[in-house]
Structure 1
Amino acid sequence: MLFAHDTEVALRGAAALVNTAATLPTDTDDLTTVAELDEFVRAWGWTGSHRHTRAELDEVRDLRPRLREVWLADEDEAVGIVNGLLVEAGALPQLVKHDEWSWHLHATPPEAPLATRMAVEAAMALVDVIRADELDRLRVCAADDCEDVVVDLSKNRSKRYCDGTCGNRANVAAYRARNRPPT
């Protein structure tokens, strides 16, 4: 494990949230309804306040481009984004224990708005990434036709593709190219 468990979960969750946005003309936005937000919250195990409203959905959707910026930023820019997210939320880190989780950090109260909690969880995880000088583990998928973000938590820093089918498509294309008869 490269980072603490809660950090890794928060990084994956932030990437998943960013990747719900359509970035290419061929993409679809996967977070357009309150029901889709409800499913995202359930799938990623978010606890605390959840209003199930269009306004809340809009707040979460507005967070996506700010988080995407971190994947594209240099260290100084990333620090500025992360610090901005923490300051805006008035984040106050504290140790908590709930559900199946052992001690971990929360920096917002459970009644804080969902988008605020998501922003702060991502920012706190990104603090660990920046402090460990591991910002290069945040990448954009190497597939030519994909702009999804990637969190490389592999030991050998080898993850190049998102969790979609991009890696399989690239491997099949490379295999076919290697086995193509000479012309």
Structure 2
Amino acid sequence: MQLVVARIGRAHGIKGEVTVEVRTDEPELRLAPGAVLTTDPAATGPLTIATGRVHSGRLLLRFEGVTDRTGAEALRNTLLIAEVDPAELPEEEDEYYDHQLMDLDVVLPDGTEVGRITEVSHLPTQDLFVVERPDGSEVYVPFVSEIVTEIDLAEQRAVIDPPPGLIDDRAEIASGKEDGGKGEDGV
């Protein structure tokens, strides 16, 4: 099975290094020197990682055969794809690969159907489930433990306990005033 593990960003310096937007929780395993990765677009690869280092909080990689800035710039926006055994599981208990979460049924604690996961979107602050509802509309569910209370791979479901307004129009508007928002004189 193929998993996107990173996206190549800007060139860094003049010796062929590139910045990388990491899309795996296991960069030390997937993006280690010697790793051979396929690419999207396919014509760019495969690429073999020659070196890797962290600089100012960003991962920098250099690939075999890419020795200058021009070569590095030509790789910009290329997706790096690792071949992963489908039976392989993440090291941590509460971690999941995207492919494990795709097509899970999403239900409320009482079993009410919400929809199914069609995409896992990785944002800088948190991950989101894109959930397709039975009517074809989509709802975005933050993948945080306060909302996603259970992932049951055996039952192929994710249980969510959303706050009011996240998946429906049950939003409660809080007002700091007891009188329904009127001024002190009742107007």
Superposed pair shares fold, TM > 0.5:
no
Q: Greater helix percent: which structure? A: 1
Higher RCO structure, 1 or 2 (CA under 8 Å, sep 6+): 1
Determine which structure has the larger strand proportion and give its number.
Answer: 2
